Amino acid sequence: MADATDVERLFTFDAVVMRGIPDSLKAEALRTEDLGEVDLEEARKHHEAYQSVMRDQLKLHVEVLEADESLPDCCFVEDCAVVVDGVALITCPGSPSRRPEVTLIKRILGGGLGQEIVEMTEKGATLDGGDVLFTGKEFFVGLSSRTNQKGANSLANAFPNYPVSGIKVNGHLHLKSMMSMAGPGIIAVGSSDHSQKAIRQIKKVSNFDYTTVTLPDDAAANCVYINKTLLHCSQDEFPESYKVFAEKFPKTPRVAIPNNELFKVDGALTCKSLLICKKPKV
């Protein structure tokens, strides 16, 4: 079982993989609701800001892959792989239109970034990276419209060192649409019924104890904890949730990153990147 320093180590990265936003996203990207038209220019500005934080503030190597017009959702690279401790599980996304996205991801992760590639071989298994919550000590996999039992099982096979538990997801696209890691042992979760139900499930089956920080807005519960820094929503987007972050994390360096545009197509903060440690830690 990992101890505190082990966990912190697992949230320390030295490289990030992102992908550009294709024009086709505006019209063709998958979305659960119609929340209005996406302003591509705004969206790309936010994307730049995100990259800038990674590169300039956190001093990470940022690999930005070229957008592919035939893949309108390709900027959401999180769904294509689950990377932990030098092992990258290449997923089979639940939505068939997104499956070709993994090809480039696999090449990049296995190539210069030196990750050990594991593929999902079981027929019928589907998994979206956005459904996988890794706490540093165990995995919770959301069983949603995109991820099924077999897919979750593939994850368990790929990471046998960690307990993997299945969590039913309702009312949201992915498990991480409702919650994410806000620090070692800290889960940020939304306050909707669905989110609360999911976190209760987690508490029931978890192998370890976690603290929860509840945000008034479900979408704000998706934040990125990386190298002892917390990236979260901006004050404009979700002022109440922003306040909670400020209150509950007074000592943690925080960066607010706007994301209103991609939010319209179910894009959250964690969706935009794959966090990598180039040298696998053994």
Biggest CA–CA distance in the chain, Å, is 47
**38 counts as binding another protein under rule CB under 8 A:** no
Kindly state the helix (H) or strand (E) to which residue 118 belongs, with its residue range.
strand 116-119
Q: Is 271 a catalytic residue?
A: yes
* Catalytically annotated residue among 172, 174, 233, 277: 174
Query: How far apart, in whole angstroms, are the C-alpha atoms of residue 281 and residue 256?
Result: 30
Task: Decide if residue 246 touches another protein (CB under 8 A).
Answer: no
- Minimum Å distance from CB 159 to another protein? 7
Residue 117 touching another protein (CB under 8 A): no
> Residue 256 is inside which H or E element, if any?
strand 254-256
The CB-of-7 to another protein minimum distance in angstroms stands at 12
CB of 78 to another protein, least distance (A): 21
Contact 182, 190 (CB under 8 A): no
- Where does residue 36 fall: left (phi above 0), alpha (psi -120 to 50 degrees), or beta otherwise? left
Element holding 260 (H helix, E strand): helix 260-263
Task: Count how many residues are written for the chain.
Answer: 282
Q: Which is nearer to another protein, 120 or 256 (CB)?
A: 120
Residues 17-36 close enough to bind another protein by CB under 8 A: none
Q: Does 128 bind another protein (CB under 8 A)?
A: no
d(CA 216, CA 242): 9
Q: Is 64 in the site for another protein (CB under 8 A)?
A: no
The tokens 């320093």 sit on which residue?
Answer: 5
| Residue 71 assigned as binding residue | no
Annotated binding-site members for substrate: 30, 73, 78-79, 98, 146, 265
Give the residues lining the site for another protein (CB under 8 A). Answer: 1-2, 86-87, 116, 138, 141, 149, 152-153, 156-166, 204-207, 280, 282
Residues tagged active-site: 174, 271
